[in-house]
Amino acid sequence: MRDGKFITLGIETSCDDTALALLEGPRDTIYDVISSQTADHSPFGGVVPELASRKHQEAFLPLLGALFDGAGMTPAEIDLIAVTAGPGLMGSLLVGVMAAKALTQAWEKPIVGVNHLEGHIFANILAHPRLEPPFLCLIVSGGHTEIVLARGEGKYLLLGATRDDAAGEAYDKAAKALGLGYPGGPVIERLARDGDSGAFDFPIALRDTKDVEFSFSGLKTSLRTTVGRLREERPGDELPVSDICASFQRAVTESLMRKVRLAVKKTKVTRVAVSGGVAANSSLRDALSSEGRNKGWDVFIPSRKYCTDNATMIAAVGYSAFMRGERSDLSLTPDPSWEIWEAAG
């Protein structure tokens, strides 16, 4: 404890970013650090699980030292260790959880295992102190696309999810088909700025169903088919990449927005938040903001820093859980498929 304030160490290693943070109380960031593996995985067009876990091991201790040095603190001043225990890549999760368990023994500090997706929800709570349940949250990333109803801290109702690919995964695969590299979301967004979003009529799957559900597999296939056709029809010509990107981005955004509208209609909840890596996409952020103005929704969008994987959100969930009386111990085991949602009846 520092100056009478409760300090939480957050540890996030669910995928390919090693992230650590020190949080004071429920939402005040003291210091945070991150080690990105993007350059390591880029040649492969996606995250290689074994490589990711090795990189986490290499990065963890130097990053931990940098965290405490940067914060001007010592381990004796922290009160809690919060670590992502799922969902995610098993090897990556193991590195974080085992490190956290070693630290809890060495420093004699309590430990709480945190659900990564609850962390993304808390990114909005960190960014917006006035956000209170109930609210809807669209979680949209490389591995997840869900809409949940947050009824309270630790109480979430799953309204619907993707049947196949996540939206972020679709962006990565579209970029790969166009030879744009990894990760796909940022480069597609950048190229889309100069493109015509109406140039190609990519499909919006499940657009008129009465369920809150998504599908991006058909959109991905449609893009690949379009690219193949254009290369046959225009051999030697450059592809209209900007137009393809703009049209693809429009289809993803509209798919997400249709189901957000449906979720609001079904629940009558007009507080709407968004989180996850794709929440950094300008097209989606603009669409949500515009819808909020037009429909009278209260829209909450975190800063881009809190959209991607980070340890501050993990620390925030850990603090909340600990204050609710939740505890973990040395039997804590990662669960790559850990779900915290209650299914909608």
Q: Is the pLDDT of residue 3 over 90?
A: no
Write down the architecture of domain 132-301 according to CATH: 2-Layer Sandwich (3.30)
Assign residue 154 a region (left: φ > 0; alpha: ψ between -120 and 50; beta: otherwise). Answer: left
Mean of pLDDT values over 216-233: 94
Which residue bears the tokens 């981005």? 249
What is the predicted pLDDT for the residue at 343? Answer: 75
Consecutive H or E run containing 255: helix 241-267
pLDDT in tens, 8-65: 999 999 999 999 999 999 999 999 999 999 999 989 888 999 999 999 999 999 999 9
pLDDT in tens, 98-153: 999 999 999 999 999 999 999 999 999 899 989 999 999 999 998 899 999 999 98
Q: Is the pLDDT of residue 280 over 80?
A: yes
Q: Is the pLDDT of residue 307 over 90?
A: yes
What is the predicted pLDDT for the residue at 193? Answer: 96
Q: Where are the domains of the chain?
A: 7-120+307-343, 132-301
* Complete edge-to-edge strand list for the sheet that includes strand 7-12: 28-36, 17-24, 7-12, 80-86, 111-115
**Superfamily grouping for domain 7-120+307-343:** ATPase, nucleotide binding domain (3.30.420.40)
Contact (Cβ atoms closer than 8 angstroms) between residue 167 and residue 256 = yes
User: How many other β-carbons are positioned within 10 Å of the β-carbon of residue 74?
Assistant: 10
Identity of the amino acid at 297: W
What is the predicted pLDDT for the residue at 345? Answer: 61
**Identical fold between 7-120+307-343 and 132-301:** yes
Task: Please state the separation of Cα 200 from the chain's center in Å.
Answer: 28
Rounded CA gap, 235 and 66, in Å?
52
Rounded CA gap, 336 and 333, in Å?
10
- Residue by residue, DSSP assigns 138-164 as EEESSS-EEEEEEEETTEEEEEEEBSS
pTM of the shown model:
0.93
Q: How far is CA 324 from CA 46, 115, 172, 307, in A?
A: 38, 15, 38, 25
Q: How far is CA 241 from CA 179, 180, 229, 230, in A?
A: 10, 10, 14, 11
pLDDT in tens, 154-189: 899 999 999 999 999 999 999 999 999 989 999 999
Calculate what percentage of the chain has a pLDDT beyond 90: 90
Q: Is the pLDDT of residue 4 over 90?
A: no
DSSP type of residue 37: -
Q: Is the pLDDT of residue 344 over 80?
A: no
